[in-house]
Structure 1
């Protein structure tokens, strides 16, 4: 095994046999950390996004936080109900993309797929940026390194995912369940302190006044804007429906149970922490403010004490799950890419299953895109979240609309289609609200990105359709008769050349040895050596007054093509292979240059005849 192969095995593990694929599938308790970490982690920042709006309405508006959280939980269960149906209707996976494609049409399937792919990139970027913010809350001196921390986290999570689904589930289980437990303790502590009459003073300096005194429709729009800001709490809900095939059998049943468990935990945590934030008067800080802390860090400090063990445990668990929430993107982006690539809308390399039974090209693509976005937005969650929820809610809308179409196609009477219909109307309304309400914050960028994705998908599909048409064997097609001319490159005579001569003669009788000379002495030496060997292959010596080894060969190949337009020209390049890899740096391989230069010429084949140096 090569050194590179050994390093690969250390980092990513040894290859897994295809017959062991079922062992890599996930049970409910391991699937929850893999697929639900994004949704559960939104508890850490969704309340803050709502408070950023509510604080502009003065102290009286802060009491709306808990009612808005309850309304968002009701919307969550509507979406969950629809995806529960999708899982059972499409147990082969594909989620919103598959249900939209088959019931609404290919264009709407591409719309859902594009929205989700964008959403997964943003999932990774938002999650690790929020995780970096949680670390900075504990160690403020690290604030200048936010992008570096976030990017390193992406690289680490990508590496873990490249090791396989089962290993990633085991790695992510402890942080995810620790986060859930600590937030339950946090909420319980808040309830106990509230019952004893304890509260925190309100910091009026962080309140705004832009929305004070609003009445009627203006006040309603203010509430809607806060509701829309909190819709990030629902992101990640679709992940389980997209990855049904990652579950142990029975796949649909286990995926559905995981979905319901995720929704129940998210409902409890989100409403509980929102109530605590409201009761204890926790308000957001500006990201650039010295000593910056997210609202969840402020709440933990207020309830557990600023430097208590539970404060640091909560922050560590929050940082970990926010980092690991990116795993939802890594779990689903490659699978969704595979479905779309299989349909011809993305490069076929994304359908390749790697050594560890994961779609490694999709994982690497997601990592690169996420790091680029983090660098662009300086790892600031407030700059990323406005772009975040629009694509996800668009996919919610198309998925639920697709399920309405599925029920209509099945011609079965069921009240369930009306729930999906109502859910589609609500999520469509929220999508428009997100787009309009956050237009000035950059929500329009998501639309532009989606349009670019759609154009990209259609262009790739057009290419593959054209390629299939060109390569398709028709009845009139016959195997053509062909002749080949062999040009054997001879830099000097050595043992490797002797094997190349034997190979060239086996191919065809029309063989020519070609030597490029830079001076007359080398030409005479190669002529004498060639006569001594006694081969019947004629030797052609090409002069190179400009000292190029490649140009004379190119010109001679073109001449051979012109003389015999219907023949194939095979250029044989002998190559000595050294015993150690580093010794290859001491040798030149002209075949690489020739392949690039002759790539546009028809009927030209470049081949290496290797001679191994023992």
Structure 2
């Protein structure tokens, strides 16, 4: 049943030689790798207004120069990551750049930040998309978390079907969103130019505002910079592109930056001219669309496509997280299971873990987007800062042709990213402080995992000085609970281990049980030695363990190996297992941790 369900949900398995067919062209890559950055247009301008409204609505005109600052940062980041794409064509982004140029520890900070950031990408995107739906249909507000969880599960399943298939499906809503916002911006600008938007809705540019300060403007700039999250995703996912991968990735990055700049600027201008103020239950884009078109078809079309791209922006995380996990796993900082491709040639373990942790985060924050965005944004700008700084160090060290221009570009990006990061810590510390707790924990976990792999490698390596154990024979112990085909099957297997000393062990609770069992055994298997053990506290494992320890000490003196053969019957149907005790599994699990004991399970499969 499970294999059939799996095939229905994620499709037939793909052969390894079909991997080339799973690469992305520029059109599909732009859709799935830019959806996070493009979707942030729906909440980035709103974050600026949320800060400015604390002074007054008169301060809204500052959103325009702040937006210009965000565009300058965007330009610096696009230029910087374009250089990273060509300098590191195998992907890895901030993690690889920081590790190679700033040291291993710095690389782990960047890698750990990005891992958390991609989890936040899914949580923020789906939460924001759910907000867009509930803005249009307020009766759904009470069901925000369940709706968000359903969307995460759906996107996870979609990505398990493979990169190409998910891209083919997700491209349509992304481009529909771009089209919808272009229509909104063009119509809004036309209304403004033709005088259909009353001038009294907004204050004049340059109007003095009491209470405004440089600190507050920097805070608004940092908040608005959350619209740049996802810019780094393309540099992480270069291996997903068709050849020539670096060239295609660079062109896709420029296309994404251009679209993001136009859409972000348009929404900021419309919000200013319409005098839009942020509201708790209605998004800024929703208010702009309603004032431009009224609550008619175009309003619902814009809200629908906005909700879709906000939800599907999570796909950027699903595209980049598994590839970053592969790089960390190859360096032995996270489990090796993240390097394994699934049935559909995607890194399924990374996809599943991303979906799981995103759901945990949505439940923990109750689907409240505004609480997640600051933590999300600071998790992006730390890798931004480190990757740009790493490239600065690279150019100074290598000094290739034209390095001075590259140096200036990366230095500009590093300085602005650092300022934004510091502003998040200074202005939103109550929301971003968790990163100061979990980042050291993540790096500590990285080192512990790597230490484990190194220890395992040292012990398994044939060049180790540890001598191989010489085995002269076997002392075979078979725990028995009755006289059955299961026990008979296990005894026959034990007798095949030659040379051997075979001991059957029966643990009893009452004296009457012992006498009856010994009598039956002497008639059934007289040639097999039977040892009976009394358990006054009805613990089979404890009594059996003590006996095995005693036998092991004596056997080791003669270079004999102690082997415990565990009889186990396998029911025909899986659910039948709950009808039987699982002593064989418990004994096996306990004995697997004994140093000098081999554990072997002999299955007896039932037919009814």
TM-score band, normalised by the shorter chain? over 0.9
| 2:210 matches 1:213 | yes
Q: Secondary structure at the match of 1:312?
A: helix
Give SS of 2:68's match. Answer: helix
Q: 1:601 aligns with which of 570, 594, 597?
A: 594
TM-fit CA distance, 1:56: 2.8
Match of 2:40 in 1: 42
**Residue 437 in structure 1 maps to residue 427 in structure 2:** yes
Gaps (5+ residues) in structure 2? 203-207
- After superposition, the C-alpha distances for 1:393-444 in whole angstroms (9 at most, x for unaligned) are 11111111222233234331312222112221221222212221222x4222
Residues 166-181 of structure 1 aligned to structure 2 (within 5 Å): 166-181=164-179
Q: How many residues align?
A: 596
Using a 3 Å threshold, how does the CA distance of structure 1 residues 201 and 455 change in structure 2: closer, same or farther? farther
Choose the corresponding residue for 1:33, options 28, 31, 34: 31
Q: Identify if the C-alpha distance between structure 1 residues 546 and 176 changes in structure 2 by more than 3 Å, giving closer, same or farther.
A: same
CA distance in 1, matches of 2:128, 2:194: 33
Paired with 1:394 and 1:196, the residues of 2 have a C-alpha distance of: 44
Structure 2 residue aligned with 1:328 = 316
Larger CA deviation: 557-566 vs 195-204: 195-204
Among candidates 488, 495, 500, match of residue 505 of structure 1:
495
The answer to whether the 8 Å contact 1:55/1:283 transfers is yes
Match of 2:223 among 210, 221, 229: 229
Aligned equivalents of 1:253 and 1:412: distance in 2?
Answer: 19
Aligned match of 1:318 in 295, 302, 306? Answer: 306
1:316 CA drift (Å)? 0.8
Query: How far does residue 328 in structure 1 lie from its aligned partner after superposition?
Result: 1.1
Taking the aligned partners of 2:443 and 2:284, their CA distance within structure 1 comes to: 38
Distance 2:24 2:231 in 1: 18
Aligned partner of residue 564 in structure 1, secondary structure: helix
Report what 1:552 is aligned to.
Answer: 543
Distance between the aligned counterparts of 1:504 and 1:458, measured in 2? 43
Query: Cα distance, 1:195 vs. partner?
Result: 2.1
Q: Give the whole-Å Cα distance in 2 for the aligned partners of 1:248 and 1:78.
A: 26
Q: 1:421 aligned to 408, 411, 414, which one?
A: 411
Cα contact 1:200–1:281 (8 A) shared by 2: no
Q: Give the superposition deviation at 1:539.
A: 1.9
1:591 deviation in Å? Answer: 2.1
TM-superposed CA distance for 1:561, in Å, is 2.1
- What secondary structure sits across from 1:262 in the alignment? helix
- Deviation of residue 534 (structure 1)? 5.1
Question: What is the aligned partner in structure 1 of residue 486 from structure 2?
Answer: 496
- How far off its partner does 1:525 sit? 5.1
1:344 and 1:546 map into 2 onto residues whose CA distance is 45
Deviation for aligned residue 1:265: 0.8
1:464 aligns with 2:453: yes
Report Cα offsets for 1:358-409 as digits up to 9, x if no partner: 2222222222222222222221121111212112111111111222233234
Residue 238 of structure 1 deviates from its aligned partner by: 0.3
8 Å Cα contact 1:128/1:322 also seen in 2: yes
Q: Does the 8 Å contact 2:476/2:562 carry over to 1?
A: yes
Shift of 1:452: 2.3
Is the Cα–Cα contact under 8 Å of residues 594 and 606 in structure 1 kept in the other structure? Answer: no
Q: How big is each residue's C-alpha offset from its partner over 1:262-292, in whole Å with a ceiling of 9 and x where there is no partner? A: 1111111111111111111111012xxxxx2
CA distance in 1, matches of 2:479, 2:452: 37
Contact 1:200 1:302 survives alignment (8 Å)? no
* Partner Cα distance (1:496, 1:588) in 2: 15
- TM (norm. structure 2) is 0.93
Q: Does 1:264 align with 2:255?
A: no
User: How far off its partner does 1:203 sit?
Assistant: 7.8
Q: Does the 8 A contact of 1:353 with 1:359 survive in 2? A: yes
Q: 1:539 aligns to what SS in structure 2?
A: strand
Alpha-carbon distance in 2 for matches of 1:315, 1:200: 24
Whole-angstrom distance in 2 between the partners of 1:175 and 1:294:
19
Deviates further, 39-48 or 330-339: 330-339
Give the SS at the match of 1:498: helix
Counting only pairs closer than 5 Å after superposition, residues 118-157 of structure 1 correspond to structure 2 as 118-157=116-155
Aligned residue in 2 for 1:281: 275
Offset of residue 212 of structure 1? 4.2
Q: Distance in 1 between matches of 2:13 and 2:166?
A: 16
SS in 2 for 1:597: helix
Deviates more, 1:43-52 or 1:165-174: 165-174
Q: 1:489 to 1:113 in 2, by over 3 A?
A: same
The offset of 1:519, in angstroms, is: 4.6
1:63 corresponds to 2:64: no
5+ residue gaps, structure 1, are 205-210, 287-291
Match of 1:289 in 2: none
Segment of structure 1 superposing worse, 44-53 or 413-422: 413-422
Q: Separation in 1 of the partners of 2:571 and 2:144?
A: 46
Partner of 1:354: 342
Partners of 1:49 and 1:200 in 2: how far apart? 25
Contact 2:474 2:561 in 1 (8 A): yes
Aligned mates of 1:396, 1:193 — CA distance in 2: 38
Q: Deviations over 1:551-597 (max 9, x none)?
A: 33222212212333464322111222233333333333322111333
Decide which of 283, 290, 305 is 1:294's aligned counterpart.
283
Q: Give how far 1:500 is off.
A: 1.7
Q: Does 1:479 align with 2:463?
A: no
What is the CA–CA distance in structure 1 between the aligned matches of 2:445 and 2:540, rounded to whole Å? 41
Mapped to 2, the partners of 1:136 and 1:114 lie a distance apart of 33
- Asked if the contact 1:127–1:324 (Cα under 8 Å) also holds between the matched residues in 2, the reply is yes
- Report the secondary structure of 1:473's partner residue: coil
Q: Is the 8 A contact 1:591 1:606 kept in 2?
A: no
The correspondence of residues 91-102 of structure 1 with structure 2, limited to 5 A, is 91-102=89-100
The answer to whether the 8 A contact 1:123-1:329 is kept is: yes
TM-score, with structure 1 as normaliser: 0.92
- Residue 355 of structure 2 is aligned to residue 367 of structure 1: yes
Are the structure 2 counterparts of residues 455 and 548 from structure 1 closer, same or farther at C-alpha, using a change threshold of 3 Å?
closer
Tell me the alpha carbon deviations over residues 135-189 of structure 1, each in whole angstroms, 9 at most, x when there is no partner.
1101111112212222222222112112221121122111111101000000011
Aligned partner of 1:304 in structure 2 is: 293
